[in-house]
Amino acid sequence: EPEVTQTPSHQVTQMGQEVILRCVPISNHLYFYWYRQILGQKVEFLVSFYNNEISEKSEIFDDQFSVERPDGSNFTLKIRSTKLEDSAMYFCASTARGGSGNQPQHFGDGTRLSIL
Amino acid sequence: KQEVTQIPAALSVPEGENLVLNCSFTDSAIYNLQWFRQDPGKGLTSLLLIQSSQREQTSGRLNASLDKSSGRSTLYIAASQPGDSATYLCAVKVGYSTLTFGKGTMLLVSP
């Protein structure tokens, strides 16, 4: 079965540095998402992306964050000037259709980001 | 603002038992509800998706129900097995694309 793949599985970064988390969504999917899960807390929506632009974002997704689809297969989340509170598991997800379409979102295994 | 609550937070049962996990949400204006399984240190595996117009969905030993008007969903697991041990997450789709998650129920099935 097709999978969403994320790299790296674990990223350790010094506070203030920039990180790029990478995702390869399922190949025929059109809608892409980033979520995060701080240890012991709920999974939280960050941003959705369709047709090369952001379609929705949460209040967490401020100017520190950006997303990009640099080519036909990758979807990236960039976090500039990382802070200790950015430490979390970051999940990428994709779906064939968005909006009111009732397609399940398929998640990757996540990248554990540790800020020191 | 949509809030999703899952009860119980943790559940421990002997193998073979049937069990029910509960999910409630505060705003009934949802597009769908999705149940996920999360193993420790792993991603989320989609188990079932119920459209807002549906009452239930079944997959193998799993059955999920949805009562949108009362803001409730249940996940029924029949004849539980040790391999079912995981955290089960409920998420509702609000807005155009956002999933709002509950905190999950941690299930332990002992042999």
- Summarize pLDDT for B43-98 with one digit per residue, the tens: 899 999 999 899 999 999 999 999 999 999 999 999 999 999 999 999 998 876 78
Helix (H) or strand (E) holding B37: strand B32-38
Question: Chain A within 8 Å of B5 (Cβ-Cβ)?
Answer: no
Mean pLDDT, residues B15-44 taken together: 93
Point out which residues pair with B45 in neighbouring strands.
B37
Shortest Cα–Cα distance, A16 to chain B (Å): 26
Question: Chain B within 8 Å of A34 (Cβ-Cβ)?
Answer: no
Which chain B residues are Cβ-neighbours of A103 within 8 angstroms? 49
Contact assignment for A48 to B98 by CB distance below 8 Å:
yes
Mean pLDDT, residues B15-24 taken together: 97
d(CA A58, CA A7): 23
**Cβ-nearest to B42 among A42, A104, A109:** A109
CA dist list (Å): A17 to A20, A63, A77, A94, B23: 10, 15, 14, 27, 39
Mean pLDDT, residues A38-60 taken together: 92
**pLDDT recorded at residue A99:** 56
Kindly tell me if the per-residue pLDDT of B31 is higher than 80. Answer: yes
DSSP state of B84: G
**pLDDT recorded at residue B98:** 83
> Which region, left, alpha or beta, applies to residue A60 given φ > 0 means left and ψ of -120 to 50 means alpha?
alpha
Would you say B21 and B75 are in contact if contact means Cβ atoms under 8 Å apart? yes
Please give the residue that has the higher pLDDT: either A104 or B64.
Answer: B64
Name the least confident of A18-22, A55-59, A93-97. A93-97
Give the strand pairing for A111-115 and A10-13: parallel
d(CA A2, CA A5): 9
Q: What does the block give as tokens for A69? A: 């689809």
**Cβ-nearest to A56 among B31, B51, B96:** B96
Which band of pLDDT confidence, cut at 50, 70 and 90, is reported for residue A98? Answer: low
Point out which residues pair with B108 in neighbouring strands.
B12
Which chain B residues are Cβ-neighbours of A98 within 8 angstroms? 96-97
Question: Chain A within 8 Å of B98 (Cβ-Cβ)?
Answer: yes
Which chain B residues are Cβ-neighbours of A6 within 8 angstroms? 43
Mean pLDDT, residues B11-26 taken together: 96
Question: Chain A within 8 Å of B76 (Cβ-Cβ)?
Answer: no
Burial of B20 (0-12, 13-18, 19+ CB in 10 A): exposed
**Cβ-nearest to A107 among B4, B43, B49:** B43
What's chain A's average pLDDT? 91
In chain A, the residue whose alpha carbon lies closest to the alpha carbon of B44 is: A107
Please give the residue that has the higher pLDDT: either A50 or B41.
Answer: A50
Which band of pLDDT confidence, cut at 50, 70 and 90, is reported for residue A101? Answer: low
Size of interface A-B (CB pairs under 8 A): 64
Amino acid at A50: Y
d(CA B54, CA B60): 18
**pLDDT recorded at residue B74:** 97
d(CA A67, CA A81): 15
Residue showing tokens 């188990």: B47
In chain B, the residue whose alpha carbon lies closest to the alpha carbon of A42 is: B103
Name the least confident of A95-99, B17-21, B56-60. A95-99
Which band of pLDDT confidence, cut at 50, 70 and 90, is reported for residue A102? Answer: confident
